[in-house]
Structure 1
Amino acid sequence: MAKLLDLQEWAALVYSQPPSLSTLRRWAREGRIYPCPELHGKKYQLVADAIYVDPRKSKMVRKTTSVSPPKKGSLVEKLKHVEQAGPLQR
């Protein structure tokens, strides 16, 4: 298991000028750090490779190139296209 760091140790590793402890605690409460820090007593503990997640960015997934189905053609051609595309990802 990886060694857990407290918020100030983590911020010192990630930022050249770390935010204040109250800001780090607010980020932990609001879920802005992934993976989510764990509260051990009165201190938040988290793994060293945790990242800050910007809440204004609604989608944090990597964009993939999607192929749109053909607009014209028979039903059989459209079904073949769906089979080649693979399973749907939601």
Structure 2
Amino acid sequence: MSAGFITRNEQGVILVDMSKQLSQALGKVTTNKSNGTQTVDIPGDKTPFYIIAPLENSQRTQGKSPGVTLTRTSISWNYNFASGFALNCDIYYGYY
């Protein structure tokens, strides 16, 4: 059984349903255009996620974002490409 909050209008149509899993942001790292790793703490019963947000315009350049690996205990990022250059990025991470 899970706890939640549901509101309905007079016709029974759901207006708000907060009984589903909601995401929880835990933090962010800035890559500074170099490879790295950082310790994180994702609860064992949750699913981790991350979002990469470039801090530079890459539309007209050969800039590349890093590859990211997120586990329950660490987040790591690695720039590995044949051409182009590393984009400085923020990586936001959390769980749902």
TM-score range for the pair, normalised by the shorter chain length: under 0.3
- Greater RCO, CA 8 A, separation 6+: 2
The structure richer in strand per residue is 2
- TM-score normalized by structure 1? 0.22
Structure label with greater radius of gyration: 1
The structure richer in helix per residue is 1
